[in-house]
């Protein structure tokens, strides 16, 4: 990393990564160019050796435990289904198996404290979330930030369904129940959590209102999609007005803990239950419908009914759910489409292209619903 960016460029990049004030969805709105993101994260597994990781983790554990065995690196492992961290599995001398989530070298820890506190909050409430053993902040461009947390049991739902597709209805039901239980947990504030306050043990969103959190990053998103002919200028203007601060559907008064990335690759299962909820790095304080809307944008719309069947088994359906869901699905689709089209320009991968096509289905449905 030090050989790629100048010290001033790296300082600017880290400031952008750490500042979530104008962020609706971090990977979309993190304030750096797709090219910079590509340089940083495409080779995220190549920044450190096994020896680097073992030495750094042992120092972070500060004598409380040590790494006895670091499993060989496997890029295709379910722990590396994401796009941000390089993830390794280790066994400690105490016998505990842990997950080590490493940022690229030189990149600041922008959210490890917030996501660790969110997961711990969920775990204490009886949900299958993890506890964190240690967090290390990168001291300079030669260092790397990482989090050491307990390894939860199970297989990623995405991987499980590849081998057991007939289990999908039952697992959708269980995911819905799990999500509804999460939304029973209230927090303070809206939007991304303040990482500095989380380090002190306080989970506090950076916005005072839900509407402010929803509008964060919106002008940028609309600009990107208009420039790439995904939206017309007229459609962008109509969407901006629809998502106004005074829209009563954005008047949430009781923020709850929203995972914000509740997808098949971030849920673990034994084939019957959800055994793990991982990757909390997009978590926010918000309206419960946010998580449902976000989840829906990853998949074909036909999956939604199965998940909601489980959700309403635990939660009571609000009177304004349908309209609020459509509004928030539109917001998430705009955000995800911004991320995908920008990523595709520097990484024209088939999986990204397929997600763009899925996004177009959701976007067309939303525009039709709101007659835009």
Same CATH fold assignment for domains 7-150 and 155-369: no
Three-state DSSP class for residue 229: coil
Q: What is the pLDDT of residues 178-235, one digit of tens each?
A: 999 999 999 999 999 999 999 999 999 999 999 999 999 999 999 999 999 999 999 9
| Domain locations in the chain as residue ranges | 7-150, 155-369
Q: Domain 7-150: what homologous superfamily?
A: Phosphorylase Kinase; domain 1 (3.30.200.20)
Specify the pTM: 0.93
Give the CA angle between residues 362, 209, 319 to the nearest 5°.
55
Q: What 3-state class would DSSP assign to 274? A: strand
Three-state SS letters, 299-319: CCHHHHHHHHHHHHHHCCCCC
256-258/97-102 β-pairing: unpaired
**What would the CATH number be for the domain defined by 155-369?**
3.90.1200.10
DSSP lists the bridge partners of residue 349 as none
> Concatenated DSSP letters for 116-173?
HHHHHHHHHTTSSB--EEEEE---STT---EEEEEPPPSEEHHHHHHH-GGGHHHHHH
- The confidence score (pLDDT) of residue 203 equals 97
- Bridge partners of 136, per DSSP, are 146
Structure tokens belonging to residue 45: 């597994």
Q: Is the pLDDT of residue 236 over 60?
A: yes
3-state secondary structure of 185: coil
Please give the span between the terminal C-alpha atoms of the chain, in angstroms, as a whole number: 45
Q: Check whether 3 has a pLDDT greater than 70.
A: no
d(C-alpha 125, C-alpha 134), whole Å: 21
Digit-coded pLDDT (tens) for 238-271 = 999 999 999 999 999 999 999 999 999 999 999 9
Give residues with Cβ within 8 angstroms of 8, minimum separation 6. Answer: none
Q: Give residue 6's pLDDT.
A: 85
């Amino acid at each position: 990393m030090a050989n790629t960016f100048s010290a001033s460029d790296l300082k600017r990049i880290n400031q952008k990564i750490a500042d979530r004030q104008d962020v609706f969805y971090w990977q979309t709105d993190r304030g750096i160019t797709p090219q910079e993101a590509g340089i940083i994260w495409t080779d995220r597994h190549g920044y450190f050796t096994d020896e680097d990781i073992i030495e750094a983790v042992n120092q972070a554990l500060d004598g409380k435990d040590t790494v006895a065995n670091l499993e060989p690196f496997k890029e295709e492992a379910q722990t590396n289904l994401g796009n941000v961290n390089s993830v390794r599995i280790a066994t400690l001398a105490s016998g505990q198996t842990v997950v080590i989530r490493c940022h690229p070298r030189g990149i600041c820890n922008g959210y490890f404290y917030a996501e660790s506190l969110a997961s711990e909050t969920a775990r204490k409430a009886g949900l299958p979330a993890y506890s964190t053993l240690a967090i290390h902040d990168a001291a300079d461009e030669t260092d790397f930030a990482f989090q050491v947390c307990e390894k939860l049991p199970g297989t990623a739902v995405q991987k499980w369904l590849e081998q057991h597709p007939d289990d999908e209805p039952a697992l959708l039901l269980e995911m819905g129940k799990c999500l509804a239980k999460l939304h029973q947990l209230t927090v303070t504030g809206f939007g991304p959590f303040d990482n500095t306050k989380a380090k002190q043990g306080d989970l506090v969103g950076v916005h005072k209102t839900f509407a402010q959190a929803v509008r964060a990053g919106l002008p940028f998103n609309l600009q990107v999609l208009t420039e790439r002919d995904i939206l017309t200028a007229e459609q962008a203007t109509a969407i901006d007005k629809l998502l106004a601060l005074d829209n009563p559907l954005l008047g949430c008064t009781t923020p709850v803990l929203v995972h914000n990335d509740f997808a098949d690759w971030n849920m673990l299962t034994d084939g019957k239950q959800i055994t793990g909820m991982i990757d909390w790095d997009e978590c926010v304080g918000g309206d419960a419908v946010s998580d449902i809307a976000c989840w829906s944008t990853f998949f074909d719309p036909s999956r939604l009914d199965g998940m909601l069947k489980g959700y309403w088994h635990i939660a009571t359906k609000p009177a304004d759910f349908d309209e609020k869901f459509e509004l928030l699905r539109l917001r998430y689709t705009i955000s995800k489409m911004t991320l995908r089209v920008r990523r595709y320009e520097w990484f024209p991968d088939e999986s990204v292209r397929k997600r763009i096509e899925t996004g177009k289905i959701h976007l067309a449905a939303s525009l039709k619903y709101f007659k835009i």
